[in-house]
Amino acid sequence: MALVEEFRVEEVTTVVKNIKPLKASSMDGYPALFYKKYWHIMGDEISRHCLDILDRKKEFGDINNTTIVLIPKVNSPNCMTQLRPISLCNVEYKIISKAVVNRFRTILDICIDEAQVTFVPRRQITGNALIAYEVLQSLKEKKERTQGQFMLKLEMSKAYNMVEWNFIEQVMRRMGFFEEWLNLVMKCVRMVEYSVLFNGVCGEKIKPSRRLIQGDPLNDSILFGEASLEGANAIKSILNEYEGSDCKEQIGASLGENRKKEAFANFKHRFLRRIENWSIQQLSFGVSFTSHTSLYDAMFLIAYTLFHELENIISKFWWRISKTDKGVHWCEWREVCKSKVQGGLGFKDSTKFNIALLAKQGWKLIMNPNCLFARLMKAKYYLNNEFLNAILGSHPSFSWRSIWCARGLLKVDMGWRVGNGKSINLWKEAWLPGSGQGKIIGQNNNINFTIVSDLINSKQITWRSEVLRKLFDEEQANII
C-alpha cells in the first residue's frame, strides 16, 4: 500500500476496533467505548469526517485540542518530576492519528536502523539486551588481548524530548517522503494545541514545538569501544557535546555478572522493594507481576527455587488483608494459576512461562535469521549449522545456554510445511503430518533419495507415486 493512496473506510474501522475503550478519555466526556458501542449508528458519519481530513479535503479544526492532566506518581508530590502528564485528546483525533501510524508502520523497519528495536514492528527490546550481554561476555573472555575494549552504560534524557518539529520535517524530506504524506504527518503533530488542567480549571492554550513526554524520561544506552586514549577521548567528546544540549545528568550502571548466582543475587530484593509500592486494590496486579519478571524470563533460564520464592511472596501479598494481617490462603497457588475459563485467575506458571519465552527467542532465530540478534548468535555459536541442530559449544554464555535448553519445546510439535522440498531432509526432519513427531518411521538405505524434493515431480508439481510406494509402507504413502 502506497503512503499517499486515499485512505479507506476499512482502515478507520480497524483503528476503532483496536483502540483502548477507556484510556485517556477526552474532556467532552465521550470515551472510545462510546464510539465502539454505537459505531453502527454513527460510524458512517465519523468515517466520512475522518477520511476527509486524512485525504486533505478538510482541516483538523479543533478536534486536536488536547488537555494535559497531571497525575501524581507519589502521595503528596512536591515537585514536577513527581507528576505524570497525561494527554486527553478527542477520540476522532486518535482515530486519525492512529490511521496514519498504522500506514506508516508498514515501512518503519526500512526507515529505522536495525539497532533500534523499540516501537518497530517485528523487533523486540530483548534482542538488544541479549546482544549487549553477549558482547560483554566476549569482552570478559578475551582479557588476555593486548588491546582491550570497554563498555559504558548511560541513562540519558530521551532524544525525542529535545527534537524540534522542524528537524523532523527536514529529516523526512531528506529521506524522500512525498510532500503530501509529509504535510499530513506534520499536521498531526504540529496543529495540536495544549491546555493544562490545574485545580479543575483549564489554562491558556499552548502551541508546542516539540513532543510532550509521558512516562519515564530516561533512556538506557550502551556504548562499546576500544580501550585506548583515542577511544576514551572520542566518547568524552560525544558526551560533552550531548551535555551541551541541556540533557540530564548521566548515571553509570553495570550490566551482567560472571556467574548465574551473582546475576540474580539482587533480583529477589528488587522484587520485594517493588511489591511494597503495589496496592492490594490494583486491578492490574497480575500484569504488574508478569511485566516485572518477563524481561528476565525472556533472556535467562531462571532456577525453579527462585521462582518458588517469588511465588510465595506473591501468594502472601495476594491473600493478605493489610500489611499487618496475613489473611487466609483460600486455595493452592496452582489453582490461582489456572486460566479464568478453568476457574483460576489467569496467573502464569512462572517456570513454564520462562521456558515458553526462551523458546520464543529460539523461534525468532529460526524465523528471522537476518535480524541483528540472530546474525550475532549464528556467527558466535552455530556458524555452519542451523539453530535446531546446533551444539551447546565450549564456554557458552548464560543466555545462549538458556535459549539452547528451551529449544526442546520447539522440537516437540514443530515441522516443515512442504514447498519445493529442497531444504528438507527426507529421513531426519519432521515434515509428515499426522505421523507421531512428523518424521518418517524407519530408515531407508537408498542414497538416491535424501531430500523431500526427490519425491516430487517438479514439472507437474505432483508427488511421484511410484517412488512413494517403493520407499514407504501403504499407510505412510497415503499420508504423503
Q: For 448-469, what is each residue's pLDDT tens digit?
A: 788 888 888 888 888 888 888 8
- In 3-state terms the chain splits into helix, strand, coil percentages (rounded to 5) of 45, 10, 45
Tell me the average pLDDT across 93-110: 89
Measured between alpha carbons, how far is 40 from 311 in angstroms, rounded to an integer?
45
Q: What are phi and psi of 207, to 5 degrees?
A: -105, 105
Instruction: Please count the other Cβ atoms lying within 10 Å of the Cβ belonging to residue 180.
Output: 12
Q: What pLDDT, on a 0 to 100 scale, did the predictor assign at position 213?
A: 47
Q: Is 451 helix (H, G, I), strand (E, B) or coil?
A: strand
Give the residue with greater pLDDT, 143 vs 38: 38
Share of residues in the chain with pLDDT > 90 (%):
16
Domain residue extents for the chain: 9-133+156-222, 254-414, 415-479
Distance CA 408, CA 398 (A): 17
At 220 the pLDDT is 53
Mean pLDDT for 228-235 is: 74
Mean pLDDT of all residues in the chain? 78
- Tens digit of each residue's pLDDT (9 = 90 or more) over 384-397: 888 988 999 888 88
CB atoms within 10 A of CB 122: 11
Contact at 8 Å (CB) between 34 and 74?
no
Per residue in 125-160, pLDDT (tens digit) is 788 888 888 888 887 776 655 667 777 776 655 555
CB 156 within 8 A of CB 222: no
> From the DSSP assignment, how many helices (H) and strands (E) are in the chain?
19, 8
Provide the pLDDT for residue 143: 60
pLDDT in tens, 15-24: 999 998 888 7
80 confidence band (pLDDT: 50, 70, 90): confident
Range name among 33-42, 123-132, 165-174, 215-224 with the lowest pLDDT average:
215-224
Give 477's strand partners: none
pLDDT band at 50 (very low <50, low <70, confident <90, very high): very high
Measure the CA angle with vertex 37, ends 33 and 38; round to 5°: 120
CA distance 106 to 5: 14
pLDDT, residue 247, reads: 39
Separation between Cα atoms, residue 24 and residue 252, nearest integer Å: 35
Q: What is the pLDDT of residues 288-321, one digit of tens each?
A: 455 445 566 678 888 888 888 888 887 877 777 6
Q: Give the strands of the sheet with 201-202, arranged side by side.
A: 83-88, 65-72, 193-198, 201-202
**CA-CA distances (angstroms) from residue 378 to 92, 99, 256, 297, 431?**
47, 38, 21, 22, 24
Strand, helix or coil for residue 480: coil
Residue 153's H or E segment, with its range, is strand 149-157
**Cα distances (Å, whole numbers) of residue 165 to 119, 339, 461, 467:** 19, 46, 56, 67
Element (H, E) at 380: helix 372-381
The HSE-up count of residue 390 (CA atoms within 13 Å, CB side) is 27
